[in-house]
Amino acid sequence: MKKCVFSGTFDPPTRGHEQIIKTCLEIFDEVVVALMLNPQKTPCLSEEERIFLLKKMFENDNRVKVKAFRGAAVDVLESENTRFYVRGVRNTVDFEYENSDFFASKKLKEDIVVIYIPSEQGNLHISSSLIRNSAKFNKTYDEYIPEAIAADLRKILEKKYV
């Protein structure tokens, strides 16, 4: 069985994240979506809210496993007994960042295999910060979020920004 890890902050999850996970499901038997908890970041959504939303996005697909993780990406790969690490990239800025991270990770885990999945053209402009800013200024953001979590995310963000 081939398994990969796709990690991120997911603050909040976007259509871009959803697309990457769906692409992973075409390649792998199982996708571990790892919510990386970084003590240096102050996310808008709580850990529980993000886990809830990620699980709801793929609640009918037992090939997707969602878990919160504290530590380095190589540690989550070790804990999941896989060497396949998926990264989504929207542009060259994302690619340069991810490539630098790859070289550092390779020193920590020699057998790591990083797979870059480019964003679909319609998702290139989507980011979690775009959604947060749209909510903050009471602008529409429905086209940026997965349909499965739209109502729940709207309620969460309304409580934070109203």
User: Which residue is associated with the tokens 């075409």?
Assistant: 26
Q: What is the rounded average pLDDT of the residues 39-44?
A: 90
User: pLDDT tens digits for 133-158?
Assistant: 999 999 999 999 999 999 999 999 99
pTM, 2 dp: 0.94
Work out the widest C-alpha separation in the chain, in whole angstroms. Answer: 48
Query: Nearest 10 degrees: CA dihedral of 135, 37, 84, 92?
Result: 50
User: pLDDT tens digits for 92-114?
Assistant: 888 898 988 899 999 999 999 99
How many whole angstroms separate alpha carbon 101 and alpha carbon 3? Answer: 21
